[in-house]
Amino acid sequence: MSGSYSYSPDIWPALITFAIVIYFGAYSWRRRHIPAAKPFSISCILCVFWVMGVILELSAVHVYTIVFGVQFKVIWKLPAAASITCFVLQYAGL
């Protein structure tokens, strides 16, 4: 991919979210013996890729690069939502 990206201050909330999700994923993986910790850490991993797509989209300059960021983001929405649903169901004990 030969798209161009530039800095934009709009990516700071996404970068903070990226760091927080990585921290929560690592924290929950270290405590994976607790019920529902494994689905939560898997959800965090999938959400990291989703947030990475948001960062790509926000920092893109050309239209085709923005489209790539949107497509990358959309790929990770369904697996992330499914793993979050698994986490909620296991956490609730269902």
Q: What is the pTM of this model?
A: 0.84
**How do residues 14-49 score in pLDDT, each as one tens digit?**
999 999 999 999 999 999 898 889 999 999 999 999
Nearest CA to 58 out of 74, 45, 70, 43 is that of 70
The confidence score (pLDDT) of residue 2 equals: 63
The CA distance from 23 to 17, in Å, is 10
**How do residues 53-78 score in pLDDT, each as one tens digit?**
999 999 998 888 889 889 999 999 99
Give the list of residues 6+ apart from residue 23 with CB closer than 8 angstroms, or none.
none
The CA distance from 56 to 51, in Å, is 9
